[in-house]
């Protein structure tokens, strides 16, 4: 598309030609393609703050399906200074003296706009006809582009929470690895989530997942955090936070959690040597510094309990307390406990 827009600019003998896409759902815009004459001094659209508001104001200005905006002299500039003064001010600041602007439509929807600026006004009608013909091709291209973009979004987005899914996360991490970036991956799950689904139903569980996603999204969008981060829903109640940059550890204090879980793989090695034990101790210490309780999973041996107690672990879970039981065995166990036999 960049090559096409470059050729159109040259045909129009304009200083600039640009295709802008509108995203009215998110109230933002993007530049699909743009081309400037060499050494052009026109100020770029992206240098203006809140340009979406300017671009969306063109919709009311355009009017009927076959209409467009043409500015080729001072009288036209004076007219638009009254009709759309915010846009007029950006034109003046950008150094624009002449414009032909067309909407890009798909049916009754305006997808965006195409325009050429600063051209020989004796060629205005020829430029108008050129852009008018171009809009049909560009609109078709944009419609296809938006469909493909939508399909990719659906493929890489968790339908329930709106967070990136495991496929998006895999691609994101692969990109970090390929660029040699240093990063940390924090695995997050929800305690007792299964009991919510079992007692209150799947709809209640879905509300919990959506609420958790919103909390993580608020952290993700927190402008006070200067560390790049990425939150994704992997599966069920499992989320993954990817943090990269040189201040990753300071970011952990922002995580909305009250419990830090140490993976079984660390517990399995806790008594193999002193360094493994101290590694677990460091994680527990860090959790306590952040105001979190610490639980170790996969505890199976009395020696592991003693080691965890010695380094200040708050809670443990694992087969040391008992292995999975059938419903009948659980019933007998409960009966024995309540009757005082155990």
The ranges assigned to domains in the chain are: 2-155, 166-337
pLDDT bucket at 16, cuts 50 / 70 / 90:
very high
Q: Give the pLDDT score at 310.
A: 92
pLDDT bucket at 185, cuts 50 / 70 / 90:
confident
Q: Which pair of structure tokens corresponds to residue 136?
A: 């049909």
Q: Is the pLDDT of residue 341 over 80?
A: no
Q: Which of 153, 143, 151, 150 is nearest to 111 (CA)?
A: 143
Q: Give the pLDDT score at 146.
A: 76
pTM beyond 0.75: the answer is no
Q: Give the pLDDT score at 255.
A: 65
Across residues 54-76, what is the average pLDDT?
A: 85
pLDDT bucket at 291, cuts 50 / 70 / 90:
confident
Across residues 68-83, what is the average pLDDT?
A: 93
What residues have CB less than 8 Å from 290, skipping those under 6 apart? Answer: 252, 253, 255, 260
**Which is more confident, 152 or 303?**
303
Digit-coded pLDDT (tens) for 116-149: 999 999 999 999 999 988 888 888 888 787 778 7
Q: Give the pLDDT score at 259.
A: 84
Q: Is the pLDDT of residue 247 over 80?
A: no
Q: Give the pLDDT score at 330.
A: 82
Topology, domain 2-155: Beta-Lactamase (3.30.450)
Q: Give the pLDDT score at 254.
A: 63
d(CA 52, CA 182): 35
Q: Give the pLDDT score at 275.
A: 85
Percent of the chain scoring above 70 in pLDDT: 91
Rounded alpha-carbon distances, angstroms, from residue 88 to 12, 55, 119, 173, 194: 22, 12, 18, 45, 59
Q: Give the pLDDT score at 253.
A: 62
Q: State the burial class of residue 127 (Cβ atoms within 10 Å of its Cβ: 0-12, 13-18, 19+).
A: buried
d(CA 250, CA 22): 37
Q: Which pair of structure tokens corresponds to residue 127?
A: 């430029």
Q: Which helix (H) or strand (E) covers residue 223, if one does?
A: none
Quick check: helix, strand or coil at residue 99? Answer: strand
Digit-coded pLDDT (tens) for 101-122: 999 888 778 888 999 999 999 9
d(CA 248, CA 319): 34
Q: Which pair of structure tokens corresponds to residue 223?
A: 């402008």
Across residues 303-321, what is the average pLDDT?
A: 91
Q: Give the pLDDT score at 219.
A: 67
Scanning 64-123, the segments in alpha helix (DSSP H) are: 74-83, 85-94
Tell me which CATH code domain 166-337 carries: 3.30.70
Q: Which pair of structure tokens corresponds to residue 38?
A: 């060499």
Q: What are the strands of the beta sheet with 259-262, ordered from one edge?
A: 259-262, 293-296, 315-316
Which residues on neighbouring strands pair with residue 33, listed in sequence order? 19
Across residues 256-261, what is the average pLDDT?
A: 80
Instruction: Determine the straight-line distance between the first and last CA of the chain, rounded to whole angstroms.
Output: 76
Quick check: helix, strand or coil at residue 341? Answer: coil
């Amino acid at each position: 598309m960049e090559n096409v827009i470059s050729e159109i600019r040259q045909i129009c003998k304009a200083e600039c030609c640009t295709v802008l896409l509108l995203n009215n759902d998110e109230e933002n815009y993007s530049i699909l393609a743009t081309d400037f004459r060499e050494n052009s001094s026109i100020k770029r659209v992206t240098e203006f703050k809140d340009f979406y508001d300017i671009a969306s104001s063109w919709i009311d200005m355009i009017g009927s399906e076959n209409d467009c905006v043409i500015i080729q002299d001072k009288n036209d500039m004076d007219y638009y200074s009254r009709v759309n003064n915010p846009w007029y001010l950006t034109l003046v600041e950008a150094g624009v003296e002449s414009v032909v602007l067309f909407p890009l439509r798909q049916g009754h929807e305006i997808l965006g706009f195409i325009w050429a600026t600063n051209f020989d006004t004796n060629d205005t009608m020829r430029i108008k006809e050129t852009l008018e013909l171009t809009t049909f091709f560009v609109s078709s291209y944009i419609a296809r582009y938006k469909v493909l973009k939508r399909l990719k979004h659906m493929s890489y987005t968790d339908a329930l929470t709106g967070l990136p899914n495991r496929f998006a996360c895999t691609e994101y991490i692969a990109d970090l690895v390929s660029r040699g970036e240093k990063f940390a991956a924090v695995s997050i799950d929800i305690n007792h989530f299964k009991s919510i689904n079992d007692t209150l139903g799947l709809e209640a569980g879905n509300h919990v997942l959506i609420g958790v996603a919103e909390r993580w999204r608020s952290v993700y969008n927190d402008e006070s955090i200067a560390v790049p981060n990425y939150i994704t829903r992997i599966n069920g109640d499992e989320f993954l936070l990817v943090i990269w940059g040189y201040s990753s550890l300071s970011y952990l204090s922002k995580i909305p959690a009250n419990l830090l879980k140490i993976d079984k793989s660390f517990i399995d090695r806790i008594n193999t040597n002193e360094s493994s034990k101290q590694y677990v101790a460091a994680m527990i210490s860090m959790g306590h510094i952040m105001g979190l309780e610490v639980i170790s999973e996969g505890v199976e041996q009395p020696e592991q309990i003693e080691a965890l107690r010695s380094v200040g672990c708050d809670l443990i879970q694992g087969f040391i307390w008992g292995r999975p039981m059938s419903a009948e065995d659980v019933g007998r166990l409960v009966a024995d406990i309540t009757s005082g036999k155990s």
